[in-house]
A and B are shown apart, each in its own frame.
Chain A
Amino acid sequence: MLPDKKNIIFIFLIITVFGTVFLWWIFKNQPLPLTERIPGMDGRPAMKARSDTVNIGEFFDTLSAMDALLPGDWPRFRGVDFDNINKDTTPLSEKWDTAGPAIIWQATLGEGYAGPAVHNGRVYLLDYNERKKADALRCFSLSSGKELWRRWYYVDLKRNHGYSRTIPAVTDKYVVTMGPRSHVMCVDPVSGKLLWSLDLEKEFGIPGTEKGRITPDFYTGQCPLIDNDVAVLAPGGKALMIGVDCASGKIIWQTPNTDSLRMSHNSIMPMTIQGKRMYVYNAVGGVSGVSAEKSDLGKLLWLTTDWSPATTAASPVFLGNNEIAVFGSYGAGGARIIISEDVSGFKATVKEQHKATNGLASDQQTPVIIKDCIWAVMPENAGALKKQLVCYKKSDLLTEVWSSGKENRFGRGLGPYIVSGDKLYLLDDDGNLYFYKIQDNKATLISSHKILKGIEAWGPMAIAGKYLIMRDARNLLCLNIGK
Chain B
Amino acid sequence: MRAIWLNSILLRPWLTLLISLLLVLASGFGAKNLYFRGDYRVFFAPDNPQKLAYEEMQRVFSKTDNVNITIAPDSNNVFSPDTLALIREYTDLAWQIPYSTRVDSIANFQHTSAEEDELLVEDLIPDAASMDAQQIADARKVALSEPNLVKKMIAPDAKVGVINIMLQLPEDDLTSAVKEISTYVRDLSQRMSEKYPGHAFYHTGVVFLNDAFATAAEEDSKTLVPGMFIAILLMLWLLLRSFTGMLATLVVIVATIGATMGVAGWLNIFMSTATVNVPTLVMTLAVADCVHVISSMLFALRQGKTKIEAIRYAMELNLMPVFITSVTTAIGFLTLNFSDVPILVHLGNLTALGIMLACVFSITVLPALLLLLPMRVAAKQKSQSGWMESFSEWVIHNHRRLLPLTIILTLGAVAATLKNEINDEASEYFSKATEFRQAADFQQDNISGMATVDFALYLGTPSALNKPDNLQLIQDFTNWLRSQPEVDHVSSISDTFKRLNKNMHGDDDSYYRLPQQQDLAAQYLLLYEMSLPFGLDLNNQVNLDKSATRVMVTMKNLGSKEYTAFENRAQAWMQQRAPAINMTAASPTLMFAHIGETNMDSMIRGTVLALVLISALLVVALRSWKMGAISLLPNLLPAGIGFGIWGLYSGQINMGLSVVMSMSLGIIVDDTVHFLAKYQRARKDGADATQAVRYAFSSVGRALFITTAVLVAGFGVLAMSNFAVNSNMGMLTGIIILVALAVDFLFLPAFLMVFDKQKTNTEDNADDTDKKLQTAH
- The answer to whether A and B interact is no
> B residues within 8 Å of A by Cβ?
none
> A residues within 8 Å of B by Cβ?
none
